[in-house]
């Protein structure tokens, strides 16, 4: 079959890499893609936020299956457009993607289904929000309701920080995303990510992972989109996964279906684990980046079969073939990230890297210029490896990092530390 993947990051390179290995794949197209993706798929320039443009492209190119990577096209209703045109699609409708696009909506779903999560209140005006913070005290968490590219959450350790965050949000720092603000109880604990495919009724867990949000080794510095990940995350024990399924995931799926907006795609639950219990921090309506890189390395070619079963409503009979293995990915970023960084520096050493089912340099923000690969984003490369142990996966991932000649880049040196 002909498959179109939307997106251009390391997540989409990893999805393309896994899909390409499956013999069901005939032609693979990624829009817009990046320099690494171009080595294994055709890259197409289409406006991936424009549902009609995506549908036209699918018709012209006889695309049988569309996989939507990032949240923006989901929130923009691209899955609605492709499904309405009769094209098999992986990814939730805009109405279902509100589980990521509106934090207040997710809280409402949790309340309706009695799912454990932080206590909260929502505000559309600054003064009552300030009064709430003064009444509750710090630490406290202030969130812009809408999509804010991962920057709309302030974990305030002091009341002053929380009040400043409220002023920023209602002052328009996050645009319309901050027109409504959610203020939450601060949850203690360790975070982990849980990935579940759902066709709207059935749910199939496809793995756990742990991200590293801070930019610096030792969990220092500002938050980023994620500087590295590994899978499985041992902190999410089988018992905790079962609790998350019974108390959080399945009630959400039922509530979404009950409202007439069934959720189809991957439900990515950020969980906070404390005292042998987990609570929901947030949902994402898409695969995580860089968590997908480790999930795809562990799943390999079967990933396409699972995504197809999800899109076709056949998850009830789908099974994951698990190997007893570990995968780890290290993000290499441009100096300055997550703040301002330069683009265009040349990345050396890519030609001589090993590429196999157990070791792969996924590309995120890369481009080709005069025959050379150059940095074209903040997060640029994802050195990813699999091993019989996490320590082995880590050593092999850092061996890829060390083979790269890119003075303008950096990475954390401690990815995987919590589990090692
Ligand atoms: P979110 O975008 O909702 O995942 O928030 C980003 C990050 O902020 C999370 O990954 C957590 O590290 C942190 N966070 C969000 N909500 C809370 C909370 N209620 N308590 C503690 N930390 C939180
Ligand atoms: N790595 C965090 C995310 O994809 O949201």
**pLDDT digit string, tens, across residues 141-193:** 999 888 877 678 899 999 999 999 999 888 888 878 778 899 999 999 999 99
Q: Which of 317, 351, 379 finishes a domain?
A: 317
> Is the CB of residue 255 below 6 angstroms from any atom belonging to ligand 2?
no
85 and 56 in a common domain: yes
| 156, two tokens | 């305030």
Q: Is the CB of 187 under 6 A from ligand 1?
A: yes
User: CA geometry: angle at 54 spanning 48 and 59, to 5°?
Assistant: 160
Atom of ligand 1 nearest to the CA of 152: 2
Q: Are residues 257 and 348 in the same domain?
A: no
Task: With respect to residue 112, please indicate whether it lies within any of the assigned structural domains.
Answer: no
- Residue 98 domain-assigned (yes or no): no
Give the Cα-Cα-Cα angle 389, 395, 396 (nearest 5 degrees): 90
Question: Is the same domain home to 240 and 203?
Answer: yes
Question: Domain of 371: which CATH number?
Answer: 3.90.600.10
Neighbouring residues of 250: CB distance < 8 A, sequence distance ≥ 6: 203
Q: Do residues 237 and 312 both lie within one domain?
A: yes
> Closest ligand 2 atom, CA of 290?
1
Q: Quick check: is 252 in a domain? A: yes
The answer to whether position 200 is within a domain reads: yes
pLDDT one-digit tens code per residue, 85-107: 999 999 999 999 999 999 999 99
Q: Give me the pLDDT at residue 4, please.
A: 98
**298 in a domain, yes or no?**
yes
Same domain, 217 and 234: yes
Outline where DSSP puts E strands in 8-145. 28-32, 42-43, 65-68, 88-90, 120-123, 140-144
Atom of ligand 2 nearest to the CA of 289: 4
Distance CA 125, CA 279 (A): 28
- The ligand 2 atom at the shortest distance from the C-alpha of residue 211 is 1
Strands (E), 245-312: 265-274, 277-284
CA of 153 to the centre of ligand 1 (A): 7
Please tell me if the CB atom of residue 270 comes closer than 6 angstroms to any atom of ligand 1. Answer: yes
Confidence of residue 230 (pLDDT cuts 50, 70, 90): very high
Helix (H, G, I), strand (E, B) or coil at 56: helix
Do 54 and 159 belong to one domain?
A: no
Contacts 24+ apart (CB under 8 A), 334-338: 334/365, 334/375, 334/377, 334/378, 334/380, 334/408, 334/409, 335/408, 335/409, 335/410, 337/215, 337/224, 337/378, 337/379, 338/215, 338/222, 338/223, 338/224, 338/225, 338/378
The CATH number for 150's domain is: 3.30.1490.20
Which atom of ligand 2 is nearest the CA belonging to 291?
A: 1
- Rounded to an integer, the average pLDDT of 297-314 is 98
Instruction: Please report whether residue 105 resides in a domain.
Output: no
Q: What is the pLDDT of residue 387?
A: 97
The candidate with the shortest Cα–Cα distance to 115, out of 238, 252, 237, is 252
For residue 418, the model assigns a pLDDT of: 87
Q: How far apart are CA 402 and CA 400, in angstroms?
A: 5
Q: How confident is the model at residue 232 (pLDDT cuts 50, 70, 90)?
A: very high
What does the pLDDT read at residue 175? 78
Q: Is residue 391 part of a domain?
A: yes
Is residue 100 within 6 Å of ligand 2 at its C-beta? no
Give the ligand at the shortest distance from the Cα of 106.
Answer: 1
**What average pLDDT does the structure give for the chain?**
95
Render 86-99 in DSSP notation, one character per residue.
T-EEES--TTTTHH
Ligand sitting nearest the alpha carbon of 279 = 1
Ligand 2: does its nearest atom lie under 6 Å from the Cβ of 291? yes
Judgement on whether residues 208 and 238 belong to the same structural domain of the protein: yes
CATH of residue 57's domain is 3.40.50.20
Question: Does 284 sit in the ligand 2 pocket, CB within 6 Å?
Answer: yes
Q: Is the CB of 417 under 6 A from ligand 1?
A: no
Across 396-401, average pLDDT: 98
Note whether residue 166 is domain-resident: yes
Same domain, 202 and 141: no
Does residue 408 line the site of ligand 2, with CB under 6 A?
no
Instruction: From 282, 283, 284, 285, give the residue whose CB has the most ligand 1 atoms within 8 Å, as the site to mutate.
Output: 282
* Residue located nearest, by CA, to atom 8 of ligand 1: 153
- Average pLDDT (113-130) is 93
Q: Are residues 201 and 311 in the same domain?
A: yes
Domain end position, chosen among 317, 350, 378: 317
Atom 5 (ligand 2) nearest CA = 288
- Residue 81 and residue 11 share a domain: yes
Say which ligand is closest to the CA of 226. Answer: 2
Q: If you measure from the C-alpha of residue 361 to the centroid of ligand 1, how many angstroms do you get, rounded to a whole number? A: 29
Give per-residue pLDDT as tens, 254-276: 999 999 999 999 999 999 999 99
Same domain, 304 and 378: no
End-to-end CA separation in angstroms for the chain? 41
Question: How far, in Å, CA of 125 to CA of 368, rounded?
Answer: 47
- Domain containing 247 equals 190-317
| SS3 call for 169 | helix
Q: Which domain-ending residue is among 282, 300, 317?
A: 317
- Total tally of structural domains belonging to the chain: 4
Q: Where are the beta strands (DSSP E) in 338-415?
A: 359-363, 366-369, 372-375, 379-387, 409-410
Number of H helices, E strands in the chain: 13, 22
pTM of the model: 0.96
What value does the CA radius of gyration of the chain take, rounded to a whole number of Å? Answer: 21
List the alpha helices (DSSP H) in 291-405. Answer: 291-299, 302-311, 390-402
Give yes or no for a contact between 212 and 415, defined as CB atoms under 8 angstroms apart: yes
Q: Are residues 307 and 334 in the same domain?
A: no
Which ligand has an atom closest to residue 224 CA? Answer: 2
| Cis peptide bond prior to 139, omega within 30° of 0 | yes
Please work out whether the CB of residue 289 comes within 6 Å of at least one atom of ligand 2: yes
Asked if the model's pLDDT at residue 223 lies above 90, the reply is no
3-class SS shares of the chain: helix, strand, coil, % to 5:
30, 30, 40
DSSP assignment letter at 375: E
Give the model's pLDDT for residue 162: 94
**Cβ of 191 less than 6 Å from ligand 1:** yes
Residue 227 CA to ligand 2 centre (angstroms):
10
Q: Which two tokens stand for residue 162?
A: 């929380």
CA 398 to chain centre: 22
Report the separation in Å between the CA atom of 364 and the middle of ligand 2, taken as the mean of its atom positions. 13
User: Whole-angstrom Cα distance, residue 214 to residue 222?
Assistant: 6
């Amino acid at each position: 079959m002909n498959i179109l993947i939307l997106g251009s990051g390391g997540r989409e390179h990893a999805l393309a890499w896994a899909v390409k290995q499956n013999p069901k794949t005939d032609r693979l197209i990624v829009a817009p893609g990046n320099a690494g993706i171009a080595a294994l798929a055709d890259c197409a320039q289409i406006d991936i936020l424009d549902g009609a443009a995506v549908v036209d492209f699918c018709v012209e190119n006889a695309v049988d299956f569309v996989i939507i990577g990032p949240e923006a096209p989901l929130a923009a209703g691209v899955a609605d457009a492709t499904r309405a045109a009769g094209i098999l699609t992986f990814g939730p409708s805009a109405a279902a993607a509100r589980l990521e696009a509106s934090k207040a909506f997710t809280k409402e779903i949790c309340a309706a289904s009695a799912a454990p999560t932080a206590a909260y209140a929502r505000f559309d005006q600054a003064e009552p929000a300030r009064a709430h913070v003064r009444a509750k005290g710090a630490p406290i968490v202030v969130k812009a309701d809408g999509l804010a590219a991962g920057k709309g959450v302030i974990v305030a350790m002091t009341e002053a920080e929380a009040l400043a965050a409220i002023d920023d949000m209602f002052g328009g720092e996050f645009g319309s995303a901050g027109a409504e603000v959610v203020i939450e109880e601060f949850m203690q604990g360790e975070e982990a990510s849980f990935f579940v495919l759902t066709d709207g009724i059935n749910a199939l867990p496809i793995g756990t992972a742990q991200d590293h949000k801070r930019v610096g080794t030792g969990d220092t510095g500002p938050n980023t989109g994620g500087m590295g990940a590994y899978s499985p995350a041992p902190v999410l024990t089988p018992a905790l996964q079962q609790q998350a399924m019974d108390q959080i995931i399945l009630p959400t799926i039922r509530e979404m279906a009950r409202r007439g907006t069934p959720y189809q795609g991957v439900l990515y639950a950020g969980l906070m684990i404390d005292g042998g219990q987990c609570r929901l921090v947030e949902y994402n309506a898409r695969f995580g980046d860089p968590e997908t890189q480790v999930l795809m390395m562990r799943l390999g070619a079967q990933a396409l079969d699972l995504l197809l079963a999800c899109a076709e409503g056949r998850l009830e009979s789908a099974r994951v073939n698990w190997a007893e293995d570990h995968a780890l990915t290290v993000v290499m970023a441009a100096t300055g990230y997550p703040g301002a960084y330069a683009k265009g520096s040349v990345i050396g050493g890519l030609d001589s890297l090993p590429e196999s089912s157990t070791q792969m340099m996924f590309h995120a923000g890369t481009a080709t210029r005069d025959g050379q690969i150059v940095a074209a984003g903040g997060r640029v490369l994802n050195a990813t490896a699999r091993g019989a142990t996490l320590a082995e996966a880590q050593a092999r991932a850092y061996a890829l990092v060390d083979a790269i000649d890119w003075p303008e880049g950096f990475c954390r040196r401690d990815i995987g530390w919590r589990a090692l």
